[in-house]
Amino acid sequence: MEASSSTSHDPALFHAPLLHHPRRRSSRPLKGFAVIFGSVVFLLSLVILIVNQSPEPLASNPSSVTEAGSYSMAAQPRGIAEGVSAKSNPSLFDKVGFNWTNAMFYWQRTAYHFQPQKNWMNDPDGPLYHKGWYHLFYQYNPDSAIWGNITWGHAVSKDLIHWFYLPLAMVPDQWYDINGCWTGSATLLPDGRIVMLYTGSTNESVQVQNLAYPANLSDPLLLQWLKYPGNPVVVPPTGIEDNEFRDPTTAWLGPDGSWRITVGTRFNTTIGTALVFQTTNFSDYQLLDGVLHAVPGTGMWECVDFYPVAINGSVGLDTTALGPGIKHVLKASLDDTKVDHYAIGTYDMITDKWTPDNPEEDVGIGLKVDYGRYYASKTFFDQSKQRRILYGWVNETDTEADDLEKGWASIQTIPRSVLYDNKTGTHLLQWPVEEVESLRLNATVFKDVVVEAGSVVPLDIGTATQLDILAEFEIETLVSNSTEDEVSDCGDGAVDRNTYGPFGVLVIADDSLSELTPIYFRPLNISDGSLETYFCADETRSSKAPNVTKRVYGGKVPVLDDENYNMRVLVDHSVVESFGEGGRTVITSRVYPTEAIYGAARLFLFNNASGVNVKATLKIWEMNSAFIRPFPFEETLFQEMVAST
């Protein structure tokens, strides 16, 4: 049953701190809601290549970064010396570490996001659907909670939410991958075969591409994988650095009947590049002339993804889909900044070149897949439901010492469906897969709650550490016009007041607001008198622990004339996934509160604008935990279930 909740008490203003202020009471509601590669041309571009590159691991826009404390860069982040992107935070914070308790560490582990039972995890690998099971492979260290000894972990699911751990799929045991079985992709062939291409780091630390395939295609669990005896199948071409050549994509079939893959690299150290290789048998490859695409100033491209989207449709497309009514997405994970960027454009299947629709928002200089703590994403086509699914790796922002203490590090995001946004024509729409809704428990509805300028309103929903929140906001202007000088982007966080914002929700907050994570909209006046909106997440006060990286993340989000401000927020202990305007802008946050945990976690509405009131309508579900455990090979019921698929 649903009921409206609207209060008329005078709110107490909050200013910069957004802390320790009286709050308006709310009644408890009733339950119920991507420059083609030319060597001469690019050399002329080198003057501008270095601009806007961040040296820090996993940094957002420098103007919107706020640290919990300075840290020492004396020690190189783990993974760099081995020839891959940074796999750890800088090793030493100048501030004393926090005295975490076992209860705090236990609370940080997520309840419905995929993560291994223990130890280190990074990039998602080779996701696919086979004989009734979704398969997720992932970079894994079976020996420790820090990066190293990278093998392929393996898990399966019937619904992308509840998972069974399986034995390791591939281990570094050959000269061509002895230093790591790194990231790769699966291709499903028309005859039902599955080929897996992955990067191996050789005994001389050269990055090569290798081929593997299932030992038994009739096995729905794909428990055994065979490495091609002729590996490696692709080695770094002349002119490409031995340790900057990795992460082959899913293959697509060209009009000439041969397959293509893309591998990420760089040219002259600063030009991010996607090479194209052609094959008919997946064991012999030819490097095609030119490149699929390259962008000056973006540095090494890793974890490249390339796939089609329908411009008028509500379903995903197989990677091989070509023809009218189709755009192609090119995505790259930028090693220099640890950010995933994408662009939408046109693929010429004759020349094997891709051109962005908007060169000013090319890969690496424009749109981000996710504006928060998110990297190494990969998609696959789910043929069972005709949709494209996106996975992303979310690492920790605490210290390696903390990870070793708790025994695990990193999670995967909730799988997201990906569609072309035909309303804007400029963005993708990312949305949690529908299956996550099966975890929804009791719902609480708040309708037309007026949040006055400068106020905070508590939302009485009970337990607030596992939530699915749908929120919509309307603004009521209190001033005739605004003449204040408004800073673009997310500013310094939710404490930056302007006429129209920020406003949104405070998640994982304690009752006194000493710890909180605001997820919010920040509309800003621009020169033509219209509003430009940013969707943001502010981690700066998410934890009292000093040795945790805390930043302000966010990006511009189109809000069309016929739309209200809307967000969806998935809260799962130490991870918050936020989707603005139907998933046009997405932010993933990691939070490590010391007090806003267990029963002390609360949810609030807030409006820190100076010139508008906000009316909010929300539907909030408490979320159940996902069933994630080792596959029960010994149980007869599951043996029968596998045999029937």
Question: Which one is catalytic: 123, 370, 421, 538?
Answer: 123
Give dist(CA 251, CA 467) in Å, integer: 37
Cβ atoms 493, 552 nearer than 8 A: yes
The span from the CA of 568 to the CA of 533, in Å, is 16
Partners of 473 in beta bridges:
565, 616
CB atoms within 10 A of CB 414: 27
Does residue 421 have an active-site annotation?
Answer: no
Least Cα distance to 278 among 350, 200, 229, 354 occurs for 350
Going by C-beta distance under 8 Å and a sequence separation of 6 or more, which residues neighbour residue 234? 208, 209, 248, 263, 277, 285
Beta 628-630 vs 163-170: how paired, if at all? Answer: parallel
Q: How far is CA 114 from CA 155, 157, 409, 492, in A?
A: 9, 11, 12, 32
CA distance 155 to 375: 20
Distance CA 27, CA 44 (A): 64
Residues 6+ apart with CB under 8 A from 420: 309, 310, 311, 313, 327, 344, 428, 429
Asked whether 260 and 351 are in contact (CB, 8 A), the reply is no
- 297 DSSP 8-state letter: T
Terminal-residue alpha carbon distance, the chain: 40
Contact between 535 and 581 (Cβ < 8 Å): yes
Closest CA to 524 of 493, 551, 495, 497: 497
Q: Report the C-alpha gap between 190 and 383 in whole angstroms.
A: 12
How far is 468 from 505, CA to CA, in rounded Å?
12
Phi and psi at residue 436, to the nearest 5°: -65, -25
Kindly state the DSSP code that residue 287 receives in the 8-state scheme: E
Q: Which residues are catalytic?
A: 123
